[in-house]
Amino acid sequence: MANTQSAKKAIRGSARKHTHNAFWREKVKTAIKNIRGLIKDGKADAKLLSENLTILQKTLDKAVKEKSIHKNKANRLKSRYANKISAHKKPAKPAKAETTKPAKSKKKSA
């Protein structure tokens, strides 16, 4: 148990910060879960995925502004999910059949 007045104040402040950070962590987790669900289903169109990516990016930026998560972690998550969505949007490329060039014929000199 805290003995001094300042230690008691620190406990109260720590509890406030904990609830504040938990709020932002939960918002980020929810946004990530929405994107993961859309990608997993495979039925989402590009517009819906882009909207959810924008929501995730906004949420991460706000969480960084509120100092709930580190800016590098936010950038890493934004990049990771942007890459996943762009890979999901692209149709699978069919394998190219390799074409071989005909061999050059040697000219006989007279």
pTM of the shown model: 0.73
Name the residue ranges covered by the structural domains of the chain. Answer: 9-89
Q: What is the pLDDT along the chain (110 residues), one digit of tens a residue?
A: 778 999 999 999 999 999 999 999 999 999 999 999 999 988 788 899 999 999 999 999 999 999 999 999 999 999 999 999 998 877 656 666 677 777 777 777 76
State which fold the 9-89 domain adopts: Methane Monooxygenase Hydroxylase; Chain G, domain 1 (1.20.58)
- Give how far Cα 4 sits from Cα of 7, 9, 10, 12, Å: 5, 9, 10, 13
Contacts of 48 (CB under 8 A, 6+ apart): 38
Q: List all residues 6 or more positions away from 10 whose beta carbon is below 8 Å from its beta carbon.
A: 2
Read off the DSSP letter of residue 3.
-
